[in-house]
Amino acid sequence: MSLALFPLNTVLFPGCTLDLQLFEARYLDMISRCMKKGESFGVVCILDGREVGMAPDGYALIGCEALIRDFKQQDNGLLGIRVEGGRRFRVRDAGVQKDQLLVAEVQWLEELPDPPLEEEDADLLALLQALAEHPMVASLDMGTHAEGQQALANQLAYLLPFTEADKIDLLQLDDPQQRLDAIQMLLDELQGELFTQ
């Protein structure tokens, strides 16, 4: 499957909301094509290079499909769009088109069934509910009510202040329980750093 890629300094997760402001012609054209054809595009995290200008030198080979949910003209005249994370994918082969748009052959990653939340997930669920009260998180209108481990893991991985490298590692994990365990380990590390400062 061929997918246009939008390299960003962020990692998108399935079911999560991302607001984008567009001003580069290649991305305005890409969004226009996606909307006319009812298609999606892919978000990959930049590892080396910048968001603006030429295609970045390095980006993660795992990404998340972006489904356009809303769009509007911003006060500054730029186009703003809101996307929701769809399926995860792995980049197999990529090339830069004449208009500098990055297009890749991708392989969709299989999603395991979403197991129900368990008693030991209560602390992480409480953390998600606390995050949902933050104005920036509330403005994303994601709902932040996790009905299963997959949704809980995706939303926490997306919203918590982990490094991009850690978020890419989390996105690669297929098993929701493994992802929750990894999130708990990262949280323990963050708490450890806070206490040693």
Amino acid at residue number 139: S
Query: Per-residue pLDDT for 82 more than 50?
Result: yes
Question: Residues 101, 52: one domain?
Answer: yes
pLDDT at residue 54, rounded to an integer: 47
Give the end of a domain, one of 86, 108, 130.
108
Question: Residues 63, 140: one domain?
Answer: no
More confident residue, 98 or 197: 98
Mean pLDDT of the chain: 88
Query: Per-residue pLDDT for 53 more than 50?
Result: no
- In a 3-state reduction of DSSP, which class is residue 20? strand
Give the end of a domain, one of 108, 141, 159.
108
Contact call for residues 82 and 43 (beta carbons, < 8 A)? no
Instruction: Indicate the pLDDT class of residue 106, thresholds 50, 70 and 90.
Output: very high
- Tell whether the torsion through CA atoms of 56, 82, 139 and 178 is positive or negative: negative
Give 139's contacts (C-beta < 8 A, 6+ positions apart).
Answer: none
Question: Residues 79, 161: one domain?
Answer: no
Would 114 be classed as within a structural domain? no
38 Rama class: left (phi>0) / alpha (psi -120 to 50) / beta: left
Contact call for residues 13 and 171 (beta carbons, < 8 A)? yes
Give the end of a domain, one of 57, 82, 108.
108
Question: Residues 89, 128: one domain?
Answer: no
Question: Residues 70, 159: one domain?
Answer: no
Give 179-194 pLDDT, tens digit per residue: 999 999 999 988 877 6
Range(s) of the domain holding residue 23:
2-108
Average pLDDT for 126-151: 84
pLDDT at residue 57, rounded to an integer: 59
Would 178 be classed as within a structural domain? yes
Domain of residue 89, CATH code? 2.30.130.40
d(CA 134, CA 147): 20
Would 47 be classed as within a structural domain? yes
Would 113 be classed as within a structural domain? no
pLDDT at residue 182, rounded to an integer: 97
pLDDT at residue 194, rounded to an integer: 64
Question: Residues 8, 80: one domain?
Answer: yes
Give the number of other Cβ atoms within 10 Å of residue 172's Cβ: 14
Select from 149, 144, 147 the least CA-distant residue to 175: 149
pLDDT at residue 143, rounded to an integer: 67
Domain total of the chain: 2
Contact call for residues 137 and 129 (beta carbons, < 8 A)? no
- Tell whether the torsion through CA atoms of 127, 135, 9 and 176 is positive or negative: positive
Instruction: Indicate the pLDDT class of residue 123, thresholds 50, 70 and 90.
Output: very high
